[in-house]
Amino acid sequence: MKKFLIAVGLLLALGLLAGCAKEEPVEEVDPVEAAWSDFGDTYYALADEDIEAKAALMEAFVREHPDTEYAGRLAGGIAYYRGESLGDPAAAYALLNETYGTNTDPETRFELGKAMFPLALELGEPADLDAIAQDLAASRELDFGEMIDVADLAVEHEQWATGAKYAEAALAKATPEAFLADYPDDDYTPEEAAAKADRRKAMSYADLGWALHNMGETDKAMAAFEAGAPLKTVDYLGVADTSIDLYLGKVKLDAGDADGAITLLSPAAIMGSNDDAMAALREAYATVKGNDDGIDEWMWSQREALGKPIDAFTLADYEGNEHDFSALSDGKVTLLAFWFPT
Amino acid sequence: MELPRLQPLYENYKDQGFNVVVVDGKRQTEKAVAFIEKHGLTYTALENGEGDAEVVEGVFGVQSFPTSFLIDREGRVMYSHLGFDAGDEEHIAEEIESLL
Among the candidates A125, A140, A155, a domain finishes at A140
Contact B68 A338 (CB under 8 A): yes
How close, in Å, is residue A135 to chain B by CA atoms?
A: 30
**Given this model, what pLDDT does residue A6 score?**
35
Under CATH, what is the fold of the domain B3-99? Answer: Glutaredoxin (3.40.30)
CA nearest neighbour of A152 among A205, A112, A108, A197: A205
**Of A120, A140, A160, which residue is a domain's last?**
A140
B19-49 residue pLDDT tens: 999 999 888 899 999 999 988 999 999 999 9
pLDDT score for A274 = 83
Of A6, A239, A315, the CB nearest to B46: A315
Residue A65 lies in a domain: yes
CA distance readout (Å), A121 to A85, A89, A155: 17, 10, 13
d(CA A134, CA A98): 20
- Please judge whether A326 and B75 are an interchain contact, meaning their C-beta atoms are less than 8 angstroms apart: yes
- Whether the CB-CB separation of A240 and A233 falls below 8 Å is answered with yes
Query: Which of A3, A85, A322, A336 has the highest number of chain B CBs within 10 A, making it the mutation to test binding with B?
Result: A336
Q: Which residues of chain A have pLDDT under 50?
A: 1-23
Interface of B with A in 48-87 (CB under 8 A): 48-49, 53, 55-56, 59-62, 65-82, 86
Beta-carbon separation of B45 and A318 below 8 A? yes
Touching check for B5 and chain A: CB below 8 Å?
yes
Within a domain: A190:
no
Contacts B100 to A, Cβ<8 Å: 333
Q: What is the DSSP string of A67-86?
A: TSTHHHHHHHHHIIIIIIIT
Give contacts of A307 with chain B, Cβ < 8 Å. 72, 76-78
Domain ranges for chain B? 3-99
pLDDT band with cut points at 50, 70 and 90 for residue B89: confident
What residues in B contact A315, CB-CB < 8 Å? Answer: 23, 46-49, 53, 55
For A338, which residue in chain B has the nearest alpha carbon?
B23
- CATH code of the domain covering residue A81: 1.25.40
Q: Which of A255, A281, A287 minimizes the C-alpha distance to A268?
A: A281
Contact between residue B21 and residue A328 where contact means Cβ atoms under 8 Å apart: yes
Describe the strand order of the beta sheet including A322-324 as a list of residue ranges. Answer: A308-309, B76-82, B67-71, A333-339, B18-24, B44-47, A314-317, A322-324
Say if the Cβ atoms of B33 and A308 lie within 8 Å.
Answer: no
- Give the Å distances, CA to CA, from A335 to A128, A200, A271, B59, B80: 42, 31, 14, 17, 9
**pLDDT tens-digit profile of B43-66?**
999 999 988 889 998 899 888 888
Spell out which residues of chain B touch residue A5, defining contact as CB-CB under 8 Å.
29-30, 33-34
Which positions 10-29 of B are in contact with A (Cβ < 8 Å)? 13, 17-26, 28-29
pLDDT at B90 over 50: yes
d(CA A121, nearest CA chain B) in Å: 24
- CA angle (A91, A85, A135) in 5-degree steps: 55
User: What is the predicted pLDDT for the residue at B27?
Assistant: 86
Total domains in chain A come to 2
pTM over 0.90: no
What is the structure's pLDDT at A20? 40
* pLDDT, position A27: 67
Q: Are A62 and A74 in contact (CB under 8 A)?
A: yes
CB B73, CB A333: distance < 8 Å? yes
The pLDDT of residue A1: 32
* Rounded Cα distance, B41 and A79, in Å: 30
Cis, bond preceding B66 (omega within 30 deg of 0): yes
Residue A85 belongs to domain spanning: 32-140
Q: Answer yes or no: do B68 and A332 touch at CB < 8 A.
A: no
Distance from CA of A106 to the nearest CA of B (A): 28
Residue A217 burial (C-beta neighbours within 10 Å; 0-12, 13-18, 19+): middle
* Domain assignment of residue A36, yes or no: yes
> Which of B19, B33, B46 is nearest residue A334 as measured by Cβ atoms?
B19
Total beta-carbon pairs less than 8 A apart between chain A and chain B = 181
Q: What is the pLDDT of residues A72-113, one digit of tens each?
A: 999 999 999 999 989 999 999 999 999 999 999 999 999 999
